[in-house]
C-alpha cells in the first residue's frame, strides 16, 4: 500500500558542512520530521515538515499520565555512499506492541516503513559516513487529548525525528546490581518502550552515579535475585564458553539488538543459553574465573562493555577489554554489516528508497 505523505521541505538544509566527529548523542536533529495525527479512529494528515516545535495544551494528557511510547533505530551509509535502514519492520512491529500495552492505537506498519524511507531519503546528507556512526531515528507516539481525567486518550500524534550520532558510551561502564529500586516487574510495563520506564530509572542511576557507578544492573522486582537488564539495555554474559542472556518473560524489553546478536551467535555456532540468570551465579562464575565478559546490547550503544559489577560489598572486576572476544566480535559484525563491508546474510539491511529526490 502506498500512503499519501505531504511534503514540505526546508528552504535551506542545516546539514551541510556538519562536523560528524563532534556530535554528542541526541542533541542534533536533521532538517525534517514525519508527523501523523490520530483522530476519529484513524491516522490522517501524514506529512513531512521542517523539524520544529509543536504547540500543545497544558492539559495534554501525555504530560500528565504518560501515554508515550518510542522506538530507537538507525540508518547508515555503506562505503559506496548508499543509505540503508536496519530491520525497520521489526521496529514497526515493536512500537505496536508498546502501543497495545499503553492502550494506544496501533500505527500502520507499511506507513511506518514508508515514512522511514521518505524521511531518511530526504535527510540522507545527515547520515554520518564513518563506520560505527549512524543516523539515529526516533519514532514516537503520544496522547493528544486535552483533558485531566485519567482515561485513554482519543487523539494521538505519531512522529519520526532523526539526528546523527557517534558512539553512545565512550568507555566501558561499571554497574551496580540494584537492591532497592526496580526497573520493572512481570505484569508491569517493562516489555514496552514507554517513557515511564526510562523516567523511573533516572533516580536509581543518579544514586548509582553518586557511588561511582555508571549504570544499574537491574534485578527482578520480587526477589532481587534474577538479572534483567543493564542501564537502558539488554544484558549479555559470557560464562565459560557460553553466551548467556536473560529470557525476556514479561519484564524485559525484547531488544532488536538482542535478537540480532542471538542470530549472529547462532549462525557462528557459538553456544547460547537464554534463560533466567541469577546474580548469585554471576558471583560464583566470577570467583571461579569463568565470567569472561558482560555487555549491554541496545540500538544506541550497540555493545557497551561492562568493566565490573558491584553486588552487595563485592566488586567483580571483569577481564580487560582486549580479551572480550564475543562483545567485540558482535560490535564489529553489526558495524561491518551496516557499512556493507560484511555480507548481510540475514536480509536485515534495507536500501532506502525515497520517492522524494533531493
Ligand atoms: C537503546 O539502547 O537504544 C536505548 O533504548 C537507549 C535510548 C533510550 C537512548
pLDDT band at 355 (very low <50, low <70, confident <90, very high): low
Instruction: Determine whether the shortest distance from the Cβ of 246 to ligand 1 is under 6 A.
Output: no
Q: Residue 283 gets which letter from DSSP?
A: H
Q: Residue 240 gets which letter from DSSP?
A: T
Residue 212: which residues within 8 A CB-CB, separation 6 or more? 174
Ligand 1 site-directed mutation target among 163, 258, 299, 303, most atoms within 8 Å of CB: 299
Mean predicted confidence (pLDDT) in 76-96: 95
Q: Which domain holds residue 149?
A: 6-166
Whether 140 and 197 share a structural domain: no
pLDDT band at 170 (very low <50, low <70, confident <90, very high): confident
Whether 15 and 161 share a structural domain: yes
Whether 124 and 196 share a structural domain: no
Taking the CA of residue 298 as reference, the ligand 1 atom at the shortest distance is 2
Q: What is the pLDDT of residue 314?
A: 95
Residue 357 has pLDDT above 80, yes or no: no
* CB of 203 closer than 8 Å to CB of 335: no
Mean predicted confidence (pLDDT) in 3-27: 91
In this structure, of 13-27, 40-54, 185-199, the range with the lowest mean pLDDT score is 13-27
CA 199 / ligand 1 centre spacing (Å): 13
Q: What is the pLDDT of residue 185?
A: 95
Q: What is the pLDDT of residue 16?
A: 85
Instruction: Determine whether the shortest distance from the Cβ of 256 to ligand 1 is under 6 A.
Output: no
Taking the CA of residue 168 as reference, the ligand 1 atom at the shortest distance is 9
Residue 358 has pLDDT above 90, yes or no: no
Whether 185 and 306 share a structural domain: yes
More confident position, 169 or 153? 153
d(CA 141, CA 160): 9
CA 214 / ligand 1 centre spacing (Å): 15
354 domain-assigned: no
Q: What is the pLDDT of residue 22?
A: 83
Residue 320 CB coordination number (10 Å): 10
Instruction: Determine whether the shortest distance from the Cβ of 330 to ligand 1 is under 6 A.
Output: no
Q: What is the pLDDT of residue 237?
A: 98
pLDDT band at 347 (very low <50, low <70, confident <90, very high): very high
> Can you say whether the dihedral through the CA atoms of 37, 39, 45, 50 is positive or negative?
negative
Whether 155 and 278 share a structural domain: no
pLDDT tens digits along 245-259 = 999 989 999 999 999
144 domain-assigned: yes
How many separate domains does the chain show? 2
pLDDT band at 356 (very low <50, low <70, confident <90, very high): low
Whether 160 and 181 share a structural domain: no
Q: Which of 166, 195, 222 is the C-terminal boundary of a domain?
A: 166
Q: What is the CATH number of the domain that holds 296?
A: 3.20.10.10
Q: Which of 138, 166, 194 is the C-terminal boundary of a domain?
A: 166
pLDDT tens digits along 181-190 = 999 999 999 9
1 domain-assigned: no
Q: What is the CATH number of the domain that holds 35?
A: 3.30.470.10
Q: Residue 94 gets which letter from DSSP?
A: H
Whether 184 and 162 share a structural domain: no
Whether 49 and 22 share a structural domain: yes
Instruction: Determine whether the shortest distance from the Cβ of 299 to ligand 1 is under 6 A.
Output: yes
CA 234 / ligand 1 centre spacing (Å): 10
226 domain-assigned: yes
Amino acid at each position: 500500500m502506498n500512503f499519501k505523505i505531504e511534503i514540505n521541505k526546508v528552504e535551506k538544509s542545516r546539514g551541510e558542512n556538519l562536523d560528524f566527529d563532534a556530535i554528542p548523542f541526541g542533541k542534533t536533529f536533521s532538517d525534517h520530521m514525519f508527523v501523523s495525527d490520530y483522530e476519529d479512529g484513524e491516522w490522517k494528515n501524514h506529512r513531512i515538515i521542517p523539524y520544529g516545535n509543536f504547540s500543545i495544551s497544558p492539559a495534554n494528557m501525555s504530560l500528565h499520565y504518560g501515554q508515550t511510547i518510542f522506538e530507537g533505530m538507525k540508518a547508515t551509509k555503506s562505503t559506496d555512499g548508499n543509505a540503508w535502514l536496519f530491520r525497520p519492520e521489526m521496529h514497526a512491529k515493536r512500537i505496536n506492541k508498546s502501543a497495545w500495552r499503553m492502550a494506544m492505537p496501533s500505527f500502520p506498519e507499511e506507513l511506518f516503513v514508508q515514512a522511514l524511507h521518505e524521511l531518511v531519503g530526504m535527510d540522507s546528507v545527515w547520515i554520518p559516513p564513518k563506520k560505527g556512526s549512524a543516523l539515529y531515528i526516533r519514532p514516537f507516539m503520544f496522547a493528544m487529548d486535552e483533558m485531566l481525567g485519567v482515561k485513554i486518550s482519543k487523539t494521538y500524534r505519531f512522529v519520526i525525528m532523526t539526528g546523527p550520532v557517534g558512539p553512545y558510551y565512550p568507555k566501558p561502564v561499571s554497574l551496580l546490581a540494584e537492591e532497592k529500586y526496580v526497573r520493572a516487574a512481570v505484569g508491569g510495563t517493562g516489555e514496552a518502550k514507554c517513557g515511564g520506564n526510562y523516567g523511573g530509572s533516572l533516580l536509581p542511576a543518579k544514586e548509582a552515579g553518586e557511588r561511582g557507578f555508571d549504570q544499574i544492573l537491574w534485578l527482578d522486582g520480587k526477589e532481587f535475585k534474577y538479572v534483567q537488564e543493564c542501564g537502558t539495555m539488554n544484558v549479555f554474559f559470557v560464562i565459560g564458553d557460553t553466551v548467556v542472556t536473560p529470557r525476556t518473560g514479561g519484564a524485559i524489553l525484547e531488544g532488536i539488538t538482542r535478537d540480532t546478536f542471538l542470530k549472529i551467535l547462532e549462525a557462528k555456532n557459538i553456544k547460547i543459553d537464554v534463560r533466567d540468570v541469577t546474580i548469585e551465579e554471576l558471583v560464583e562464575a566470577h570467583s571461579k574465573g569463568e565470567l569472561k565478559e558482560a555487555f549491554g546490547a541496545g540500538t544506541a550503544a550497540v555493545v557497551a562493555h561492562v568493566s565490573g559489577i558491584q553486588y552487595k560489598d563485592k566488586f567483580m572486576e571483569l577481564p580487560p577489554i582486549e580479551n572480550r572476544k564475543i562483545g567485540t566480535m558482535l560490535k564489529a559484525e553489526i558495524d561491518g554489516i551496516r557499512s556493507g563491508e560484511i555480507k548481510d546474510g540475514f536480509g536485515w539491511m534495507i536500501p532506502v528508497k525515497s520517492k522524494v529526490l533531493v
